[in-house]
Amino acid sequence: MNTEEELQRTIAQMVQPGKGILAADESLPTIGKRFAAVGVDNTEENRRGYRALMCGAPGIGEFLSGVILFEETLEQTTDDGTPLPVVLARQGVVPGVKVDKGKGPLPGAPGDRITYGLDGLAERLVRYREQGARFAKWREVYPVGERNPTPLGVEANAEMLARYAAVCQQEGFVPIVEPEVLIDGDHTLERCAEVSEAVLHAVFHALHRHRVTLEYLVLKPSMVIPGKEHPQKASPEQVAEATVRVLRRTVPAAVPGINFLSGGQGPEEATANLNAMNAAFPGRPWELSFSFARALQEPVMAAWAGRARNVDAAQRVFLHRLRMNGAARRGEYRPDLEARP
């Protein structure tokens, strides 16, 4: 298979009606924070056990087209010694890998951040392919404030995303391009929309500059919502309206799939918002789906709490959340479905 055929095959597997992506690619400090909240030690064995629980849950292939793994997880196995990427592939789920190496301040743009990890990326992808990964993920973040993101922050982060995406496609990996406008702060929905529009505009301009083929990428944006500290919550219909308006203005129809991050929304909130978009905009040019980490995992991790005897119960909770998001993918979710796990 040549590179083009490989990209075609992977994107067709990743963007399927009714399905979405699980982000299970938390870095060591981030998974440590999530584990601490449920009283679990951040050991390699606990990380393996927890991620094996999700990758090995029977039935996930009905709702998941892909799982984003952390580098370490590519080498981990189930209790019976099967590598986790193999466990996923057997269920028809494509394994992917987060390839960015964290972030730090962006000099010249006070308050903005920039992500690391481009050096040696092509070589790392060769290794990840041998371990079974077929797509990659890279995240840039944009804090919202009076002066942030700065024009420099918007440009520099777009450039990073485009350079990463170009390397991925050269190596036959479908890139997930993740520009996350952060939920922190007391900004309005309108301010989030304004920032999101500028960010996405710059990202697609940069992708064009770097000759990235739009047909072979997945966009992973944040939804357009008010800041976490804003006194007024938005309804799913308001979120759907504002988000799709921004996407229509900025994301070419050639992009096959848009898979949202959850970004600190509660599990049911993220599901309801995704549902509203699919229910209200049936004629949109792209598939609208999920690539949630917290909104899929929070209840699963709480049900597991680090104990082997809870694995079955935690897998049932996981399947329930997947079923709800599968319904939201079709615009058929209703909150009363939550009562029937």
Question: Catalytic residue numbers?
Answer: 178, 220
Kindly indicate which of the ranges 162-170, 189-197, 290-298, 329-337 contains the residues binding ligand 13P, using the contact rule CB under 6 A. 290-298
Please report, as residue ranges, which positions from 68 to 127 form the binding site for ligand 13P (by CB under 6 A).
none
Total residues in contact with ligand 13P, by rule CB under 6 A: 10
The reply to whether 243 sits near ligand 13P by the rule CB under 6 A is no
Which is nearer to ligand 13P, 60 or 293 (by Cβ)?
A: 293
Residue 17 preceded by cis peptide, ω within 30: no
Q: How far is the CB of 30 from ligand 13P (least distance, A)?
A: 9
Contact flag: residue 23 with ligand 13P (CB under 6 A):
yes
Shortest distance in whole angstroms from residue 2 CB to ligand 13P: 30
Q: Which residues contact 301 (CB under 8 A, 6 or more apart)?
A: 34, 35, 37, 38, 40, 50, 314
Q: Is residue 317 involved in binding ligand 13P (CB under 6 A)?
A: no
Of 293 and 300, nearer to ligand 13P (C-beta) is 293
Asked if 325 is part of the footprint of ligand 13P (rule: CB under 6 A), the reply reads no
- Decide: is 295 part of the binding site for ligand 13P (CB under 6 A): yes
Q: Which stretch binds ligand 13P (CB under 6 A): 47-55, 77-85, 205-213, 293-301?
A: 293-301
CB of 264 to ligand 13P, least distance (A): 7
Three-state helix/strand/coil letters over the chain:
CCHHHHHHHHHHHHCCCCCEEEEECCCHHHHHHHHHHCCCCCCHHHHHHHHHHHHCCCCHHHCEEEEEECHHHHHCECCCCCEHHHHHHHCCCEEEEECCCCEEECCCCCCCEEECCCCCHHHHHHHHHHCCCCEEEEEEEECCCCCCCCHHHHHHHHHHHHHHHHHHHHCCCEEEEEEEECCCCCCCHHHHHHHHHHHHHHHHHHHHHCCCCHHHCEECCCCCCCCCCCCCCCCHHHHHHHHHHHHHHHCCCCCCEEEECCCCCCHHHHHHHHHHHHHHCCCCCCEEEECCCHHHHHHHHHHHCCCHHHHHHHHHHHHHHHHHHHHHHCCCCCHHHHHCC
- Residue 293 near ligand 13P by CB under 6 A: yes
Site string for ligand 13P, 246-265 (x = CB under 6 A): ---------------xxx--
Establish if 50 lies at the interface with ligand 13P (CB under 6 A). no
Residue 76 or 115: the one with the smaller Cβ distance to ligand 13P is: 115
Q: Which is nearer to ligand 13P, 6 or 297 (CB)?
A: 297
Q: Which is nearer to ligand 13P, 5 or 229 (CB)?
A: 229
CB of 296 to ligand 13P, least distance (A): 7
Verify binding: residue 66, ligand 13P, rule CB under 6 A.
no
Nearest to 290, CA basis, from 246, 255, 321, 251: 321
Under the binding rule (CB under 6 A), the answer on residue 294 touching ligand 13P is: yes
Of 113, 124, 134, 139, the one binding ligand 13P (CB under 6 A) is: 139
Closest CB 218 distance from ligand 13P, rounded Å? 12
Q: Which amino acid is at 253?
A: A
Smallest separation, CB 98 to ligand 13P (Å)? 7
At 105, give phi and psi (nearest 5°): -65, 150
Give the footprint of ligand 13P on this chain (CB under 6 A). 23, 139, 178, 261-263, 292-295
